[in-house]
Amino acid sequence: MPARSEISYFGAGPAGLPTSVLETAAASLVNHNDTGLGLAEHSHRSALASGILEDTKAHLSSYLDIPSDYDILFMQGGGSGEFSATLYNFIGFWVEARRLSIASALGTDDEAAVTAALKKAVDEELKVDYLVTGSWSLKASQEAARLLGSEHVNIAADSRVANNGKFGGIPEESTWALSKAPAFTYFCDNETVDGVEFPAFPAAIDDGRIVVADMSSNILSRRIPVSKYAAIFFGAQKNLGTAGITVVVIRKSLLPPSLATPSAKLMRQLGLPMPPIILDYATIAKNKSLYNTLSVFDVYIADLVLQSLLATYPNKVDGQQAVAEQKAKAIYSALEAHPQVYEIVPHTSARSRMNICFRILAPKAEADFLAGATALGLQGLKGHRSVGGIRASNYNSVSVASAEKLAAYLGAFATGA
């Protein structure tokens, strides 16, 4: 049986965690801070639990330099749950903002008149824009069409169109068919299945519009211009911690009392969906993420990860970004050195630093590659079941030494050494 120290894990998620974090968490699971109870046994309503949530928010805010006019919500349901939650909530925000503007334009508070005009606006104006650059943004757009109706969903960009029906790049921004004033514009910052990552915040949507992004697989790995987003969300199980919690960073001006939540009656009159209360951002924010029984233990693990990052990098996320780029360069360079053996899947301009996807050109050679890698302790390299191939997920927990070990193996396999 291999020791933990002998394994270099490149799985796409759940990802590896620092051993020190696991050791601290394991002790806490049995007896947290000499309370005689494990953390998972403490009430989520306790002062202890509230303190852990507040500490985690503070450490996340510090690490990413999150502005003070943003709130941090801890939720459940993973990224897939947020496909629905973002749609529900941002449609609600649009409805309330549009209701206020219509009432102002009409110069009346007459409910029937405002609702009639609002219904007309929904039918004629309501759009949500999706940039489809991989499997996860595609799923998000499909969920939007299921909940809202495809007539309201605008696929502003689809990277398969110019790539023989396959994902692997990001279309030129000049080709994006963006709506003029959508309820929101949505994209996935890093596509784990297809190895595609946006190199920076897209200039085409840097015009003050409402922007929502899924950052589940590259959060904490590079600096984010948070103020450009209405909301970002991420599951914890890639770079932040264990599966079980999802984080939403949202602009406070979109939450009550700054902006009211439309009533269920109004949304029914408009023929629009209301969120289940567990996915309602206003409810979660009002209850400080403790509307229901949150897994405080998972939040605690996330806080341990953040504390470790802050202690390791005095310059916070910038330090981790430099390491992430160093590791990705080592692996991509090894692949590029042997183009007769390896084919990198995504276009050069959109290569993910987190999920490095490639294929071995020789027939049936992938099985041999994986077997040889496993023998060396290089695990988790098999590609996603929907696309096959090889995928090295280069999350924060992967050390420079592990990335260099994989790079060396890539060279050895290519040369038969």
The residue type found at 115 is T
* CA dihedral over 378, 384, 390, 393, signed as positive or negative: negative
Angle at which helix 19-30 crosses helix 296-312, to 10 degrees, equals 140
Range of the domain at 157: 54-298
**Claim to verify: residue 121 and residue 201 sit in the same structural domain:** yes
Counting runs of H as helices and runs of E as strands, what totals does the chain give? 11, 14
In a domain, 406, yes or no: yes
pLDDT digits (tens, 9 = 90+) for 254-275: 999 999 999 999 999 999 999 9
Question: In the prediction, which pLDDT does 385 show?
Answer: 87
What pLDDT is stored for residue 2 in this prediction? Answer: 87
Give pLDDT, residue 190. Answer: 98
Has residue 364 got a pLDDT over 90? no
40: left (phi over 0), alpha (psi -120 to 50) or beta: alpha
Tell whether 310 is covered by a domain: no
Contact 8, 409 (CB under 8 A): no
Closest CA to 308 of 298, 320, 296, 297: 320
If you average pLDDT over every residue of the chain, what do you get?
97
CATH code of residue 332: 3.90.1150.10
Do the domain assignments include residue 29? no
Chain segment 373-411, per-residue pLDDT in tens: 999 999 999 999 889 899 999 999 999 999 999 999 999
- Any domain includes 28: no
* In a domain? residue 198: yes
Indicate if 117 and 256 belong to the same structural domain: yes
- Residue 132 sits in the same domain as residue 261: yes
* CA–CA gap between residue 88 and residue 280 (Å, rounded): 8
- Statement to judge: residues 206 and 292 lie in one domain: yes
Residue 102 sits in a domain of what CATH number? 3.40.640.10
- Per-residue DSSP letters for 214-233? E-TTTTTSS---GGG-SEEE
Number of domains forming the structure of the chain = 2
183 occurs within a structural domain: yes
Residues 134 and 230 in one domain: yes
Last residue of a domain, one of 298, 323, 338: 298
Tell whether 12 and 126 lie within a shared domain.
Answer: no
Query: Within this chain, do residues 246 and 395 fall inside the same structural domain, yes or no?
Result: no
Q: How confident is the model at residue 150 (pLDDT cuts 50, 70, 90)?
A: very high
Q: Does 320 lie in the same domain as 172?
A: no
pLDDT tens string 49-82:
999 999 999 999 999 999 999 999 999 999 999 9
User: Once rounded to an integer, what is the mean pLDDT over residues 183-190?
Assistant: 98
**Domain boundary pick from 245, 271, 298:** 298
Q: What is the distance between the alpha carbons of residues 264 and 266, in angstroms, rounded to a whole number?
A: 5
Residues 128 and 258 in one domain: yes
CA distance 143 to 152: 12
Residues 330 and 384 in one domain: yes
pTM for this predicted structure? 0.96
Judgement on whether residues 338 and 287 belong to the same structural domain of the protein: no
Task: Find the radius of gyration of the CA atoms of the chain.
Answer: 23
Q: Are residues 124 and 257 in the same domain?
A: yes
In angstroms, the CA 210 to CA 365 distance is 46
Is the pLDDT confidence value at 145 over 90?
A: yes
For residue 26, being part of any structural domain is answered with no
Residue 39 lies in a domain: no
Asked, as a colleague might, if the bond just before 257 is cis with ω within 30 of 0, I would say yes
Domain boundary among 268, 298, 328: 298
